[in-house]
Structures are given as structure tokens and as C-alpha cells.
Amino acid sequence: MFSAEFWTMGLCWTASLLASYWQLFPIGIAGRCDVYPRSETPRNFRTRLVCIVTGTTSGLGAAAAFALSKEGFCVVLVGLSSELLSKAMEDIREQNKDAHLKGFVVDLSSFRSILEFKSSLEKWLMDSDMHSSIQLLINNEGILATSARPTAEGYDQMMGTNYLGAFFLTKLLLPLLKTSPVGSRIVNVTSFTHRAVFGAQINEDIVTGKCFFRSKEYPCARIYQYSKCKLEFPPSMFSRLSLNWRPLSHAVL
Ligand SMILES: NC(=O)c1ccc[n+]([C@@H]2O[C@H](COP(=O)([O-])OP(=O)(O)OC[C@H]3O[C@@H](n4cnc5c(N)ncnc54)[C@H](OP(=O)(O)O)[C@@H]3O)[C@@H](O)[C@H]2O)c1
């Protein structure tokens, strides 16, 4: 019970949370907050604004999808399970019958699935007479795994889902965000726990999660913290990852 992981979560995460509150405190006092002008569709834009929210079958993602549908966005819901996605869309429509929704089943821990999503999304945008761009991408999906599992491509599941998947999706959708005739935005849902990571040397072993497998016990707290960091992704690694669809010969587990 009192393992290193236990103390990491108990002490470091409490300190990280307090540091986050400390940072937000002056903003709360001053009442200063950047507001994204999102509720009105600009006049020169004749179709709906499109936003993509990942991890929409529960929690923050489901709440964000509902709120954005109320703002008039066409919301693209991304989830792992088709049943849960249908249920999430039903729930939104119950409270907002005018909601414009589209669901896609995507496993964000799989590069192949993300690539397929990009093609399906582009086809849907074309078929549905929408502008071929998106205005908002919210990378919200996330897991806190307590045991080791590899992704389809052989990376650590938590790094694969929380970090590599979000990064890869963003990279693929960047052209659609850039061609938006109105301002577009990317929101990454991270966690206060990333504050517990100090002076990380960024390398392939960290971003793929391989370096964490040297210890006997699965260091779930440490991996979660890293997966929520704004780690700089080495550009050379992106081309290697995206072109190599075969399971890696040096699988993590
Ligand atoms: N809740 C908190 O206290 C807290 C604190 C700090 C940060 N966060 C971050 O906030 C985000 C949302 O948290 P939450 O509490 O709302 O979590 P949640 O309720 O567990 O929702 C996570 C969502 O991500 C989806 N997901 C998981 N793996 C996926 C994959 N491989 N491909 C596609 N979707 C996947 C889940 O789908 P399934 O349900 O089908 O698995 C679920 O819809 C996460 O990134 C989390 O790390 C949360």
C-alpha cells in the first residue's frame, strides 16, 4: 500500500494541485479570463462551425460536447465504443433537440484508427456540404491505467492514448484547422499532475513510454504525469512513428 507510487500520488499530486490553485488564484481575484468568441457564426461563414471533442462518452468530454452543441457548433463526438457514443448523442439530443452531432468510433491509442478517422471525417465534411475545415479541436481523451498494456503499435497504453494519440490526431488535423476561414483553436486537456515532472530530457524512450518499463512495478503515477506534460515532440520522430504502421519489433512489454 505504501509503495513509491502511493507516495507519488499522495504527496506530489497534492503539491501539484495546490500549485495550480496558487497560479489560478490571482486570475480569479482579478476576474481576468480569456474568452474565445465562439457563440456566433461569422457572417462570411455560411455553414456551421465544427468542433471535434475526443473522449465524449463520459465526464468532461460529454459535458463539453453538450455545452458546445448549445453554442451552435456542429459537434463531432469521438469515442471508443459505438454503443456509448450513441448513448452520449441521445443524452445531448434529449436536452438540446436542435443539436447538430456526428459520432465517430476512434481508438486514439492506435495510429491506424486515427488515420482512418481523418479520411472518414474529410469524406463526411465533403458529403454533408460543410466547409472543408474545422474550427475547434479538443483533445480530451485520457486514461489512468494501473497496469501495463501495449497499444496496437506496441507503445505504453497511457502514453499512447494521452500523449501520442492526441499529438498524432492534432498533427493530422492541422491542415483542416489552418484552412478555416475563421479563427480556429486547439485545446489540450492536461492535468495538474504534470507539475510533478521536473527537468525531463525529452527523447524517444520517454514519449513512447519505453523508459518506464525498467522498474518491476508499473509506475502508473509517473507515466500519467509525463503523459500530461507538454513535452516537445521531436519532429524526426513524428515521421518515423507515422510511417511505421507495423507493430514495433521492440514492443514495450
Ligand atoms: N476528472 C479529473 O479529476 C481530471 C483531473 C485532471 C485531468 N483530467 C483529464 O481530463 C480528461 C477527461 O477526464 P474525465 O474525468 O472526464 O475522464 P473519463 O470520464 O474517464 O473520460 C475519458 C474519456 O476518454 C475516452 N477514452 C479513453 N481511452 C480512449 C481511446 N483509446 N480512444 C478514444 N477514447 C478514449 C473514454 O472512453 P471510454 O469511456 O469508452 O473508455 C472516455 O470517454 C482526461 O484527459 C483526464 O486525464 C481529469
**Domain extent listing, the chain:** 47-243
pLDDT tens-digit profile of 90-107?
999 999 999 999 999 999
At 17 the pLDDT is 86
At 76 the pLDDT is 97
CATH code of the region 47-243: 3.40.50.720
At 136 the pLDDT is 95
- Please tell me if the CB atom of residue 17 comes closer than 6 angstroms to any atom of ligand 1: no
- Residue closest via CA to ligand 1's atom 8 equals 191
Compute the mean pLDDT over every residue in the chain, rounded to the nearest whole number: 83
At 2 the pLDDT is 67
Q: In this structure, which long-range contacts are made by residues 45-49, counting pairs with CB atoms below 8 Å and at least 24 apart in sequence?
A: 45/131, 45/181, 45/182, 46/131, 47/74, 47/129, 47/130, 47/131, 48/72, 48/73, 48/74, 48/100, 48/130, 49/73, 49/74, 49/135, 49/136, 49/182
* Residue 243 clears pLDDT 60, i.e. is over it: no
Torsion of CA 24, 195, 2, 157, to 10 degrees: 120
* Residue 251 clears pLDDT 90, i.e. is over it: no
Decide: 169 and 108 in contact? Cβ < 8 Å: yes
Write out the three cell numbers for 14.
497534492
Torsion of CA 241, 243, 247, 248, to 10 degrees: -50
> What's the 108 CA to ligand 1 centre distance in angstroms?
11
Question: What is the rounded average pLDDT of the residues 199-219?
Answer: 74
Count CB atoms within 10 A of the CB of residue 3. Answer: 11
> What's the 7 CA to ligand 1 centre distance in angstroms?
23
* Residue 34 clears pLDDT 90, i.e. is over it: no
- Residue closest via CA to ligand 1's atom 44 equals 142
Rounded Cα–Cα distance for residues 142 and 226 (Å):
12
Q: Ligand 1 atom closest to Cα of 144?
A: 47
